[in-house]
Amino acid sequence: MKYVAEVIDLLAAYPGKTFKTGDIIRHATGGKELPKPVRGAARQAVLRAVNALIESGNVSRLPSAPNVGRYTWKNATCSSDEVRQVMRQ
């Protein structure tokens, strides 16, 4: 899955810290200024990765304002390497 490693690296490095969707996308794309179609595709790919991590129980989505996603790594006992192994299956 595209960008899942970048999402895991960011969120797992700061368990309990809250990240906005835009912050996660910026980290996953390397902070580059992207053309609109590429930026939209990257946003969708990052959100798919985040949703997969939510389903696996490693990330939680916090209640926030409409259209603003806030996410946090909630599984402090599980290393990012272990999660990467599970996500590859």
Residues 10-56 have pLDDT tens digits of 999 998 899 999 999 999 999 989 999 999 999 999 999 999 999 98
Tell me the whole-structure pTM to 2 decimals: 0.81
CATH number at residue 33: 1.10.10.10
Number of domains in the chain: 1
Does residue 70 register a pLDDT over 90?
Answer: yes
pLDDT at 68: 80
**Domain range for 68:** 4-88
pLDDT at 38: 93
Burial 17-49 (b: 16+ CB within 10 A, else e): eebebeebbbbbbeeeeeeeeeeeebbebbbeb
